[in-house]
Structure formats: structure tokens, C-alpha cells
Structure 1
Amino acid sequence: MTDKVALVTGAARGIGLATAKLFIEQGWQVAMVDRDTDELNAAAKQFNEARAFSCDVSRSDDVIEMVSEVLASFGRIDAVVNNAGVADFRPLEETTFADWRRVMDTNLDGVFLVSLATIPALKKTKGAFVNIASISGLRASTLRVAYGTSKAAVIHLTKQQAAELGEYGIRANCVCPGPVRTKLAMAVHSPEIIAAYHDSIPLNRYGTENELAEVITFLCSDKASYVTGQVIAADGGFESTGVGLPALRD
């Protein structure tokens, strides 16, 4: 067991929830953060080692209050996983500024705000940031002008964190998931899209939420103590073969 504490945003479901579970299995305590209060509370009830903190990461005041509450509850923060995100898939010419801002508010501004609020705590513990981007931030794809651009910016923000915070012992790395078998993905991906992804992924399958959590928790651990400023695509090899599936144009 360890006395380390991880703060995980977007923890009510999907990769965030899987990451919280794995941290707990590895002996960490977890501050689970999400704006979906009901689902967050239901998820956190599974664990004695976790506490729920309702927060919209796109709101600066809410973030500052949330981090203060986490520190009051746990006394420290050793790792921050910036996982909260939203998606919007539509052609560039049909994307309004309101669509663009909705994605940027959470996917980019949220990462910045949570990071800024937690830097003082991570300085004390010489902790780690792991920011969740996407392979859509590494390579352009169809229907992802706002989403992909936000994730590309998160990748660069991660490198800025590594460059500027390394002198304090803070590490910062970025994980870029490929297609993951989440409930949401399975609900919106047609059989044609699923088959097209399988054809384009060298491992010929979607990843699992737990496989992503394994990479995330590793980067937060002492086993990755000399790893910072890195961008890791956990995608079954998808990024290496390109993106932009014809099936996604429909």
C-alpha cells in the first residue's frame, strides 16, 4: 500500500473510471472528479479508497474550489490525470464557433485549469501529470476539426509542462488513445465503422479501457521516474498506419 493520491478527471465512466479502479488496486487513494454528479457518486461508492468531487473543469472557480477540497480531504496530490473530455464529430464547414468553443472549453481549457490549480501540490510531492489526448491529435482525420485540434493542443501543452516544470521534479506525459471499446463508442460506431477500424488497426481490434489505464498508471508511477515530455499512442498501431477512414465520411 502507498499513501499516494491521484486526481482523475472524467472519472465517472470509461477510461477515467478504469484508471481510478486500477490506481486503487495498486494501493493509491483517488479523488474522482466529474461534472455528472449522479453517475460520479454511484461510481465512487464502489471504493473505500476514493472520494467524489463534482466539478466542471471548464470553469476556473469550480476547479480552484475542487482542488482545495481534494487537498483538505487527502492532504496531498501525487498524480493528476486530465482525462475529462467531450467530442463533436461533424464536417469543418458545418462546425459553428459555439461547437468549437464547447469542445475547447473542456478538452483544452479544462486541462490547463486543472493543471494550473494542482501545480503547487505536485511541487511538494514531485508528482506527475498524465494528459489524455487522442490519436486524432497526432494525425488529421475526418469530422474532427474541433476535437482533433483540441487534442493536438493538449499534446503541446504536455510538452510545455515537461519543459517548464521538470526543475521542480514534476513529470508530464501524454497518452493518445486509439479506438477504445467504451459504451459510448459502441453506441455510436456502426458495424461498418467498427469493421473499417479493425481493418486499419495492426492489432485488428479495439483497445479496452483497462489497457489504457495500465499505461496511464504506469506513467504516474515510480517505474516511469525518468519519463517526461513523452507522447504515447496506445492504439494498437493505428497511428502508425494513418487515419481518415472512408466509413467515417458518412
Structure 2
Amino acid sequence: MTTTEGRNVAIVTGSARGLGYELACQLIERGWLVAGIDFDADRQAELAERFGTERYRAFVGDVADETFVDDAIAEIARIGHIDLLINNAGQPSFKTPTAYVAADVDKCLKGLKGMILWSVATLKACGEHDLKITNVMSTAATRGNANESVYCATKWGEKGYTQSLKAAYKGSSVKIVGVYPGGIDTDFYRDSHDYVSLEKQHSFMDPAELAEVILFNLVNEANLTVSDIIIERNYR
């Protein structure tokens, strides 16, 4: 196995596309080894070939599958100490209040369940020390939005979990960061063009620029932690 001595190890969920992909790329550019988590096997194979296993380890599975999470964490922990976990994976469902069905609720809750499972498993693997957990949510966790009732409910749950982790690990070497971005120009909205038009979507934040801003706050030499990051797009 390739040695990682002296290198930082990060886990990024939802790493195959969008913001997760940009976060993984920019961490790799900074010299990190990234364990990328995603259910898209073809895309994961592509990224593993592009970056090589010295920089990117691809794990394919459902972020909300406890067995997959535990097996992946065990393998990643053998690579080296996990310094950073970025819980980024999630799926939306944007509908009018009366259009939601149980499947929509389950779809949205996968992100919350995955956030919890990956956080718990990583904390155990690190012995609850020297770890930064970053939960990427949405500004939907800070307010209610029309046609996003279930999505907002899930994000508010993720915010509650994030704040509870902060309280549990206050004063320790485990740092918890909540990231609340506004709309991002990715495929996240591809099934909701009746709600978010392509024209509107393309006015949203660029995922590469957003990743740069997030990592500027997360990965630096300063002896401090930015605990909450709310990022909105500029209107021009």
C-alpha cells in the first residue's frame, strides 16, 4: 500500500460531482489524500484513474448504508489518521407541500442519516481526537422556503445535529464546522426545472469558487476554527 506518512487524509462524501468533486479536487491540489464516497461507480472509476490511488481512493456505495460506512471507514483508517470529514452528500426533493409522498421524505433523509453514520464511524476511528468534521448543509437550514418543506425539515435536522456535536466536543481537539451555502450551479436541480429554471440555476454560485471559499476557512495554518460559514451569491 502506498505510504501516506506526513500527508493529510480527508473523506468527502458525494465526491463524484458538483461541490463534492470541487472540494476533492482542491484538497488533492493542496497535497491531501482524499477518500471519495459516492454511489456513481462509473464516475468513481473515472476519478480514481485520473488522480491515481496515491491521491484519490474511490469508495462506491450508499452513504446511508451502515455496513458500507463501517467497512469504508475501517479501510480508510488503515491508510492513516483521518484529519477531515466533509459530509457533503445529499439529495433534494422540491415540491409543493401537498405533492410530497413517503419516497420524497426518505430521499431527503438519506443526507441526514449519512451525516450521522459517517460522523460516528469517523469519530470512533480517530479515537475522538484531532479531527475536523464539516457538515455541508444549505441556507435552507436557516429559514423556511416555499416548495422545499421536506428539504428544509431535513436541513434543520442536520443543523441540530451539527450544533449538538459542537456542544459535545467543545474544548476538545475535535472541531465541528457547519457550512450553509445558497444555491449552487450544479445538477442538484436537474429534476426540478419547474421550480428552478435553467436560467435561474445558472445565476447561482460556481461550485469551484464556492469550494475555494470553504477550504480557505477549513484548511489553513491559523490556530483557529471558523465554526459556521454562511455563503450567499452576489447579485449583479
- TM-score by length of structure 2 reads 0.86
Could you tell me which runs of 5 or more consecutive residues in structure 2 were left unpaired when the two chains were aligned.
none
- Once residues 190 and 183 of structure 2 are traced to their aligned partners in structure 1, the CA distance between those partners, rounded to angstroms, is 10
Name the structure 2 match of 1:214.
212
**Which structure shows the higher helix fraction?**
1
Per-residue CA deviation, residues 54-95 of structure 1 (Å, 9 max, x unaligned), is: 1211111111111111112x2221000001100111112221
Contact preservation (8 Å) 1:12, 1:32 = yes
- Compute the displacement of 1:191 (Å): 11
Contact preservation (8 Å) 2:189, 2:196 = no
- TM-score by length of structure 1 reads 0.82
- Compute the displacement of 1:233 (Å): 1.8
Q: CA, structure 1 residues 13+219, in 2 after alignment: closer, same or farther (shift >3 Å)?
A: same
- 1:194-213 matches, within 5 Å, as 205-213=203-211
- 1:34-183 matches, within 5 Å, as 34-48=38-52, 49-72=55-78, 74-104=79-109, 106-123=110-127, 126-183=130-187
Contact preservation (8 Å) 2:185, 2:201 = no
Identity of aligned residues (%): 29
Name the structure 2 match of 1:236.
233
- Compute the displacement of 1:157 (Å): 1.3
2:25 to 8, 21, 31: 21
- Compute the displacement of 1:97 (Å): 2.4
Q: CA, structure 1 residues 66+192, in 2 after alignment: closer, same or farther (shift >3 Å)?
A: closer
- What is the RMSD computed on CA atoms of the aligned residues? 2.5
Aligned residues: 229
Secondary structure of the corresponding residue to residue 89 of structure 1? coil
The one-letter code of the counterpart of 2:229 is: I
Secondary structure of the corresponding residue to residue 129 of structure 1? strand
- Compute the displacement of 1:11 (Å): 0.4
- Once residues 189 and 143 of structure 1 are traced to their aligned partners in structure 2, the CA distance between those partners, rounded to angstroms, is 12
